[in-house]
Structure 1
């Protein structure tokens, strides 16, 4: 496993990180989740990503249990705030940040989180209020660094322009061979301002693993076959997308790697990406994904894959 610095922080994160969305406390059994976490540490993965909204606290609670007994400085823990936890508990107001952070810390059974991220932008709360509340959380020692997920360039710049507040060190966008929108403005802006990307869905909800075949039903053990984990798969699980990924497989074969490793290495080719988040339903999947760290792939193969992806009709 190789590691990269996270923005202007002193955090060094593994190039492959473990995500808990739709899996921990929700989509997979407790024993498999804990085994996956143990496997992650064995592989050198040191960054664990979660959110208060994952399973309405279930993912954080399971992590709090599974991490108990491990030295707190042996892993980097990130969680998020914004998504509704109830009909009245949502957003990035000072009151919500304080309430939800304390609740997250209790579920995670820790005194602090290394990275506290705004899950989305809150148009109903003044940015100054949000940034001041996050800054106070850092001053109180409950948070080491702050980040955001899926903010627009305009919103990112507005946060950078505010004086006297903590600066973000991470951005968490969707980014993959099939979803390249951050390249246009978000990545350049972040690179200029000491903000790294922590990428979610680098395998496009598993489609870029190559496990789905044109004309075939999804494998029984796949995310697409799970009622608990197949949310947001409709966009990617289209015949034209499956066919395109199938056409990319020979490129991965030529590189001597799996399709999943090829897709993860493509994401990690971008210097501003600090880590790619992977979610797994069983421990053995992690070893294959982790092997993408440090891979050197011929850029010409990536260019051919990009050309194939560019031919996919828009949904």
Structure 2
């Protein structure tokens, strides 16, 4: 009888412990926004989803693809998503607007953005300094592809208003815009860039997919895609944020050793743009861009701030506290597991 009572008590304790663990994640059903999910810029997001790492952490993540980073940021501020896989510089821009948005893990240490001109315009558009009057295709106005080309134009002595910017989306529509001659220049990412290169449709002028190319543009590292959330959400849902960070950190470690073939086999086939070998080529071209540790250094933060102040001289940099743009506490715990 006493043994039966002990077993019953143990069973109740185990059930209570399980219930407590199940309740650790404050919000198991999450809405996450992204601006161009098929792009290799956001590959860690797709991998985390497809490898089941969100589910392993007790999360059901509904991903909404808004076709441009600026639109996913708007969704976060508007409250229609809980988190965003987006550009790090958005955290800085929002702080200037008195919106407390913070990154918790870095997914890309380089922008991975390529600026290229249409092949039949290569003789006249030899450098960024020649972009006056050009029609420039970007994923969406306000996105990282838009900001980078504006930064390059400022450095070349041009005003961004000297050119016109056209949102071409993040997939086949971007390729079609270049094919149809609707744009003269494209600021975009893989696999779109590798597809256009394979078609012989473009000439690359600037390439931030590699260490060398990023150093040439910024003189140092420049964080790209991160996971960011409102500070209020982080404060109210710390276990949920930890679970998200864990999932992305596991993804970065998987990606660090995965073969290109494994990556291609994991993503949806439509991401290949009809050519698996081309997708593998695109991944190899962008592989250096992915973070291996999820961290953002102070120097990288300053580089991102410089990107914004150069692009927009009126940007109020004096009031920016970069330490409030990245909360590394969740990453530290993810590494320790």
Q: Is the TM value for this pair above 0.5?
A: no
Structure with more helix by fraction: 2
Larger radius of gyration: 2
Give the TM-score, by structure 2 length: 0.29
